[in-house]
Structure 1
Amino acid sequence: MDKNEADDTYDVIVVGSGAGLVGALAAAARGLRTLVIEKTEFIGGTTAYSGSGLWLPGNAAERRAGVDAGPDQARPYLDAVIGDDAPAALRERFLEAGAPMIDELESHSWLGQFFWQGVPDYFENAPGSLAGGRTVFPEPLDRSALGDLEPMVRRPQWAERSGAHPGDVMTGGQALIARLLLAFLDTGNGEIRTDTGLTRLVVDGDRVVGVEAETGSETVTLRARAGVLLAAGGYERNAELRGRYQPEVTDEWSQGAPGNTGDALVAGMEIGAATDLLDEAWFAPALVIPDERPVFYTSVWSGIWVNDAGERFMNERLPYDRSGHEILRAHRSSTVSHIPVHWVFDQRQFDNERAFTSPPVAPQAPGWFDVDRFLAAGALHKADTLEDLADLIGVPAETLTASVAQFNEYALAGKDEDFGRGEAPWDQMIVRMCGPHEDGPNPCLGVIGKPPFYAAKIVLSDLGTKGGLRTDDHSRVLREDGSVIPGLYASGNTMAPMTGRIYPGAGGPVGSSMVFSYLAALDMAGQEV
């Protein structure tokens, strides 16, 4: 082997630099020479955009917070909500590996300690659901800790879009990525190459032995002795694949990172990897705004959603993935369009200073919701009466006024008889974020009656696609006949999800991505949990 070949030969290659960094760190910490390649100029992927909640039952952070809810308590919950949509072996391994993974991460000085924060599970009526949830978060990190590495880390989405400075302290996904990056490089066995995009997998016989990648105008071959982990996100930014698998959803609405065009998914399929759930995504409603991609929108503080017939059709405070799925279900099952949805509210939405500056809508760029700018762009409509508003948005006035009148009756009575808004712990959490409504006995409901009236557009967005390559419970990629493709692993949104068609709780995507990246590294190192 000549010097150039030695320089391009590693034990482990990780494709993608989001939650897959956990696998890179675990491999490097075990003495494996590990390379991370990243298609874009920034480290972090969609994970850097996230709040970086990690849904991981029974870990040390939960125990420190006095939460007594380990794998045995979470198993009936996952069994009930996932059902047969994903192999039970995957969720068993997830439940087994989550707590040890957190223990190992906390043993690295750069990772610090995670902390629990009470975010309710998303399916409140399922057995084992917790009102306080199972979600933990990384500690913030002073931006200066990164030194010369700081420009490498992808900015939070709001800062990336607006150009605003993200602040001196990293939080959420940025903090997690920064901490993982520092810990990975601190092992002495880790290397990162940005602007290096996967083009194909290198196969010797039936085994994956490396990758071919483009960097600038050059094509390079990088070899891996132990294995290749595909952790490069989904295909949400690929218009052709979206049109094939999810025709109602445009790639222009996605919240996924710019590099997520499905390169790793396609590379796996080209060598015979099996796939599953390619019609799925981590769906979320998104608010249409002028001149940019829609803003991720978790649920309403005030107002209602109506379809093109002017009819209310759901609980507008459902957790975002459930909400997105409900919009898609209604759209597919009706002759009436539900994409976009019309969000109808009154002046009180603007009177509440927290309703547009705190979750559920929370870009941190000052003045991001400029009413005049929204009105001029047609992203917002305003009228003195509901009848005039109906005319502006093209829905039947009689139906819209009836929908509002019915909702107002429920608000004054304190109970949403149609869709149960305000009954679940998640619904009630929005009150803690944005404050209660001033009228009616139920703080999650409020009369729509203070003119002027407004209507904004809500589209079906996502935090990334979630269908991908089928794997076993060691993250090893499988062929259609169920056999393992030696040397090839997948995690995150490149992998067909452990959670099937559902989103169990805040941090489900990042938490499961981390666990299966970790399991891949253990397998490449010849270890078990």
Structure 2
Amino acid sequence: MVETRRSGNTLTPAGQTRRTLLKGAAVAGGALVAGTALGSAPARADAEYDVVVVGAGAAGMTAALTAAKRGLRTVVLEKAPTYGGSAARSGAGIWIPCNEVVLAAGVPDTPAKAAAYLARVVGDTVPVERQRAFLAAGPAMISFVMRNSPLRFRFMEGYSDYYPEFPGGMPNGRSIEPAQLDGNILGAELARLNGPYMATPAGLVVYSADYKWLTLAAVNAKGLEVSAACLARGTEAALHGQKPLTMGQALAGGLRAGLATAGVPVQLNTPLLDLLIESGRVTGVVTPGGAVRARRGVIVGSGGFEHNAAMRAEFQRQPIGTSWTIGAKENTGDGIEAGERAGAALDLMDDSWWGPMIPLPDQPYFCLAERTLPGCVIVNGNGVRFVNEGAPYSDVVHVMYDRNTPGAPHIPAWLIVDQNYRDKYLFKDVAPLLPLPGSWFDSGAAYKAWTIEQLAQKIGVPQTALRGTITRFNGFAATGKDLDFHRGDSAYDRYYADPLNKPNPCLAPLWLPPFYAFKIVPGDLGTKGGMRTDARARVLRADGSVIPGLYAAGNASGAVMGHSYAGSGSTIGPAMTFGYVAANDIADTP
């Protein structure tokens, strides 16, 4: 891979950038109080372990669980007052080909199919050795987690790979998600679990795979059936006195419970200030309370830098900021910066796990099903369609950036729908027929008008162009064939669509006033660039040499997916896998 290059930074004699000095001073100046860990005492300053893991997200907790089960004395240090990170906020899809869960479900997956598919998705951005390591270790990691924690998983049947037409792609999917978990097993630690991005309605137990059908509940019998099943699960859990967790809450909670059983302390409110380096080897980490030493290795799973404005401005395309991400707020790149100071090369720093986002006043909303359902289009600042609205979310944002120019602005873009669309489908958490919150309109995230021309005037796009776009799209909806962007041709496009809408489940005309426009900005689930690592998750310098004692996994490392996204769970699956790989490498290395 090509090393990320930077310009415009002032280097100090110690090799730190002005960015890292200012940031470090801000962190070090705060008053920090150590948190307690379930089943064990807090880590002491100047304590020594075999393995120190930085970050209590999916990557870090999987790494720590693996290290502990390999007989290594391990501690997890977490900056936040909660554990779980971005994983706890997520839908917790996990993309791991050929794991025992999908094979038991009858998915016709093979290592050859998985390798062909991943190679086609990633291209030459990521070394083949890293791709092979992920595919080889992923299934073993899932089996290990199920043997050593209360976590169980379900096949997300029908959730297509994002490019199912590629060689080895699976139109019926190969992603899994956590099964329901009773939060009572966490005891007092349940209160320290990072909260979800969107809370499940009270009384319901909802899986990530249910979301598609809940969106369609007003127009589809299967949607009503799934809604009833969600209510039945919630009722049963209440009758048994359970505190049901699903999605990211189940994943993070289950890993945390596994660590408790294994006797691994999780030290909250303990940020990483720097790495401890002695005789060229990473031998621990520096925290506000002092050094925590690692006899065998340090694994950095501290997340990305999505909430670090300086880093985003330095590495990523404009416009960018920290207000359009839904990653955990503590993800400010601490681990990446510490690795950089230790000599790590960086990769993919210009990229993120992108997705079209509506900047609502309370928090940005990741626009997933809404842009795929029939009866909507996305247009640029000239009122013209520019992308398949149902394409993988990262692809949509890549196109927004690639085509954004002063003469043809694509940021923001606009999602246009009509009242017919609003009468049929859930939008975020607003049921069909119900009015949208007034705050959406007051904030400029949404607009409403009785004609297309009036709507165009409100959002500042040419009226004639927007009318022409809608007329042309309505023609495609009548024939069922999108001649411009082929929406609905891929099995992935059709996953979140309306199967009862004919002739194309993704296409319906916009005709019934009033009409609505929603602002679309380039949001993300987190950044995907970080320290360069090898197939053993060891951190590398620019010359390819290994930094002894230093490992990285998750969004603190350059993603094995490169600039693409293989399927639901392409963030969490590799994060957990390389945490597992790192811990096993430490255990296997004398």
From 525, 528, 548, give the equivalent of 1:463.
525
Amino acid at match of 1:411: A
For residues 387-430 of structure 1, give each alpha carbon's deviation from its aligned partner in whole angstroms, at most 9, with x where no partner exists. 11111111100000000000000001111000001111111111
CA change 1:262–1:5 in 2 (3 A) is closer
Aligned to 2:459: 393
Counterpart of 1:514 in 2: which secondary structure? helix
Q: Distance in 1 between matches of 2:49 and 2:139?
A: 29
Aligned to 1:279: 350
Asked whether the 8 Å contact 1:110–1:179 carries over to 2, the reply is yes
For residues 322-362 of structure 1, give each alpha carbon's deviation from its aligned partner in whole angstroms, at most 9, with x where no partner exists. 22222222226x7311111111110022201x432xxxx4x
1:17, CA displacement in angstroms?
0.8
For residues 197-256 of structure 1, give each alpha carbon's deviation from its aligned partner in whole angstroms, at most 9, with x where no partner exists. 001000011100000012xxxx32100111111101110000001111113222110111
CA change 1:109–1:86 in 2 (3 A) is closer
Asked whether the 8 Å contact 2:122–2:564 carries over to 1, the reply is yes
Counterpart of 2:543 in 1: which secondary structure? coil
Q: 1:15-164 maps to which residues of 2 (within 5 A)?
A: 15-19=54-58, 20-159=60-199
Q: Distance in 1 between matches of 2:445 and 2:168?
A: 41
Aligned to 2:546: 484
Aligned to 2:246: 171
CA change 1:110–1:86 in 2 (3 A) is same
Asked whether the 8 Å contact 1:61–1:116 carries over to 2, the reply is no
Q: Distance in 2 between matches of 1:389 and 1:371?
A: 18
1:436, CA displacement in angstroms?
4.1
Asked whether the 8 Å contact 1:284–1:297 carries over to 2, the reply is yes
Q: Distance in 2 between matches of 1:364 and 1:524?
A: 49
The answer as to 2:354 corresponding to 1:320 is no
Amino acid at match of 2:144: E
CA change 1:180–1:5 in 2 (3 A) is closer
Asked whether the 8 Å contact 2:344–2:531 carries over to 1, the reply is yes
Aligned to 2:570: 508
Asked whether the 8 Å contact 1:65–1:116 carries over to 2, the reply is no
Asked whether the 8 Å contact 2:158–2:495 carries over to 1, the reply is no
Aligned to 1:296: 366
From 212, 223, 236, give the equivalent of 2:286.
212
For residues 291-333 of structure 1, give each alpha carbon's deviation from its aligned partner in whole angstroms, at most 9, with x where no partner exists. x23111124123101111111111111121122222222226x
Asked whether the 8 Å contact 2:155–2:174 carries over to 1, the reply is no
The answer as to 2:380 corresponding to 1:307 is yes
The answer as to 2:290 corresponding to 1:250 is no
Asked whether the 8 Å contact 2:45–2:291 carries over to 1, the reply is no
Q: Distance in 2 between matches of 1:5 and 1:377?
A: 47
Amino acid at match of 1:241: M
Asked whether the 8 Å contact 1:122–1:505 carries over to 2, the reply is yes
Aligned to 2:214: none
The answer as to 2:315 corresponding to 1:241 is no
Amino acid at match of 1:119: Y
Q: Distance in 2 between matches of 1:268 and 1:130?
A: 37
Counterpart of 1:488 in 2: which secondary structure? strand
The answer as to 2:270 corresponding to 1:270 is no
Q: Which runs of 5+ in 2 are unaligned?
A: 1-42, 207-233, 235-242
From 444, 447, 460, give the equivalent of 1:381.
447
Aligned to 2:403: 330
Asked whether the 8 Å contact 1:121–1:506 carries over to 2, the reply is yes
The answer as to 2:292 corresponding to 1:226 is no
Aligned to 1:419: 485
Asked whether the 8 Å contact 2:272–2:287 carries over to 1, the reply is yes
Q: Distance in 2 between matches of 1:430 and 1:112?
A: 25
Asked whether the 8 Å contact 1:59–1:70 carries over to 2, the reply is no
1:101, CA displacement in angstroms?
1.1
1:366, CA displacement in angstroms?
12
1:271, CA displacement in angstroms?
1.1
Asked whether the 8 Å contact 1:159–1:365 carries over to 2, the reply is no
Aligned to 1:13: 52
Q: Distance in 1 between matches of 2:341 and 2:260?
A: 32
CA change 1:330–1:368 in 2 (3 A) is farther
With structure 2 as the length reference, what TM-score do the two structures score?
Answer: 0.82
Q: Distance in 2 between matches of 1:446 and 1:527?
A: 59
Q: Percent identity?
A: 41
1:165, CA displacement in angstroms?
12
For residues 1-52 of structure 1, give each alpha carbon's deviation from its aligned partner in whole angstroms, at most 9, with x where no partner exists. xxx9897111111111111211110001112111111111010011111111
Aligned residue pairs total: 506
Q: Distance in 1 between matches of 2:312 and 2:454?
A: 36
Q: Distance in 2 between matches of 1:495 and 1:79?
A: 19
CA change 1:192–1:92 in 2 (3 A) is same
1:368, CA displacement in angstroms?
11
Aligned to 2:257: 182
With structure 1 as the length reference, what TM-score do the two structures score?
Answer: 0.91
Asked whether the 8 Å contact 1:143–1:169 carries over to 2, the reply is yes
1:375, CA displacement in angstroms?
2.1
Counterpart of 2:335 in 1: which secondary structure? helix
1:510, CA displacement in angstroms?
0.2
Q: Which runs of 5+ in 1 are unaligned?
A: none
Q: 1:444-459 maps to which residues of 2 (within 5 A)?
A: 444-459=506-521
Asked whether the 8 Å contact 1:159–1:165 carries over to 2, the reply is no
Counterpart of 2:272 in 1: which secondary structure? strand
CA change 1:527–1:171 in 2 (3 A) is farther
Of stretches 393-402 and 238-247 in structure 1, the one that deviates more from structure 2 is: 238-247
Asked whether the 8 Å contact 1:158–1:364 carries over to 2, the reply is no
Amino acid at match of 1:273: A
Counterpart of 1:252 in 2: which secondary structure? coil
Asked whether the 8 Å contact 2:162–2:566 carries over to 1, the reply is yes
1:385, CA displacement in angstroms?
0.7
1:111, CA displacement in angstroms?
2.0
1:369, CA displacement in angstroms?
7.5
Counterpart of 1:345 in 2: which secondary structure? strand
Counterpart of 1:391 in 2: which secondary structure? helix
